[in-house]
Amino acid sequence: MIRISHASVFVDDQAAALAFYTDVLGFRAKTDVDLGGGTRWLTVVGPGEPDGVELVLEPADHPAVAPFRDALVADGIPFTMFSVDDVVAEHARLVSVGVRFVQDPLTQGPVTTAVLDDTCGNLVQIASMTAPE
């Protein structure tokens, strides 16, 4: 059986990313190992999911990362997506703590999405399934 254990997001500053992903978005720090040279193996997990998929806050220092991320951001394309129970409520909570959204909540069929700037070089989509009427 194959399963996802880790997924990565490239970040400009690991310490700032850790603060944003934990203090603002609500993830929990999981692994923090000093790899030397100012680089860390740094992961977070969803709240209440200590053994869930780990999000690696990966340094964005590879030369291919900047053009890739710049192109995605310029086109408004999120690099990753997180599920939330209620996009509208989560959007309101995050706006109240200063998070900048590039797309406010938008319902498209059975899903509602919004796209935020993670302050670390990425656009991130949050999504929830719309309750059937």
39-45 and 101-108 beta bridge pairing: unpaired
Question: Which helix (H) or strand (E) element contains residue 68?
Answer: helix 65-74
Which regions of the chain are under pLDDT 50?
Answer: none
Q: Would you state the pLDDT for residue 35?
A: 93
Q: What region does 119 belong to: left with phi over 0, alpha with psi -120 to 50, or beta?
A: left
Whether residue 43 contacts residue 59, with contact meaning beta carbons closer than 8 Å, is answered with: no
Whether residue 41 contacts residue 32, with contact meaning beta carbons closer than 8 Å, is answered with: yes
Q: Would you state the pLDDT for residue 132?
A: 59
Q: Would you state the pLDDT for residue 133?
A: 57
Question: What pTM value is reported for the model?
Answer: 0.92
Q: Would you state the pLDDT for residue 11?
A: 97
Q: Would you state the pLDDT for residue 131?
A: 64
CATH number of 6-129: 3.10.180.10
**pLDDT tens digits along 21-44:** 999 999 999 999 999 988 999 999
Place of tokens 């970040």: 11
Residues 14, 120: Cα–Cα separation, whole Å: 9
Residues 68, 36: Cα–Cα separation, whole Å: 26
Average pLDDT of the chain, as a whole number:
95
Q: Would you state the pLDDT for residue 130?
A: 80
Among residues 10, 93, 124, 106, the alpha carbon closest in space to that of 115 is found at 124
